[in-house]
């Protein structure tokens, strides 16, 4: 059996980075949004969002390795993370100190 090619190894490494780093970024963004917008007390919302983080991160990892290509894996992680970060940033503009 021939060893895997370099391009295959790089694609797997790219997916692993997308799962580790991108999944962490997406999960952290989702936790922040949930903690802000869940309709409950602030402490309960933060705790609920934190407990959901394990499921969110697991879904990110599953998505990355189920995507058809490494580009789609990165896009499926980066685009929602950027949208959530934009939502958090726009919310910070509305808050009057």
Q: Is 11 among the domain residues?
A: no
For residue 95, the model assigns a pLDDT of 66
Per-block mean pLDDT, blocks of 10 residues, the chain (97 long)? 89 96 96 94 95 97 96 96 94 69
What is the tally of structural domains in the chain? 1
For residue 91, the model assigns a pLDDT of 85
Please answer whether residues 75 and 57 qualify as being in contact, where contact means their C-beta atoms are separated by less than 8 angstroms.
no
For residue 72, the model assigns a pLDDT of 96
Rounding to the nearest 10 degrees, give the CA dihedral for residues 40, 41, 42, 46: -60
Q: What is the pTM of this model?
A: 0.89
Q: Is 42 among the domain residues?
A: yes
Pair of tokens at residue 87: 């939502």
Domain limits for position 39: 16-94
Q: Is 4 among the domain residues?
A: no
Q: Is 2 among the domain residues?
A: no
Pair of tokens at residue 39: 């309709």
DSSP output for the chain: -PPPPHHHHHHHHHHHHIIIIIHHHHHHHHHHHHHHHSSS-HHHHHHHHHHHHHHHHHHHHHHHHHSSSHHHHHHHHHHHHHHHHHHHHHHHHH---
Name the burial class of residue 89, with classes exposed (0-12), middle (13-18) and buried (19+) by CB atoms within 10 angstroms of its CB.
exposed
Q: Is 10 among the domain residues?
A: no
């Amino acid at each position: 059996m021939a060893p895997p090619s370099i391009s295959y190894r790089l694609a797997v490494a790219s997916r692993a980075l997308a799962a580790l780093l991108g999944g962490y970024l997406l999960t952290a963004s989702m936790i922040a949004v949930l903690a802000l917008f869940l309709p409950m007390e602030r402490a309960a919302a933060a705790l609920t969002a934190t407990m959901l983080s394990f499921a969110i991160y697991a879904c990110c990892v599953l998505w990355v390795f189920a995507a058809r290509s490494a580009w789609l894996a990165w896009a499926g992680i980066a685009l929602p993370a950027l949208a959530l970060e934009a939502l958090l940033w726009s919310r910070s503009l509305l808050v009057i100190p």
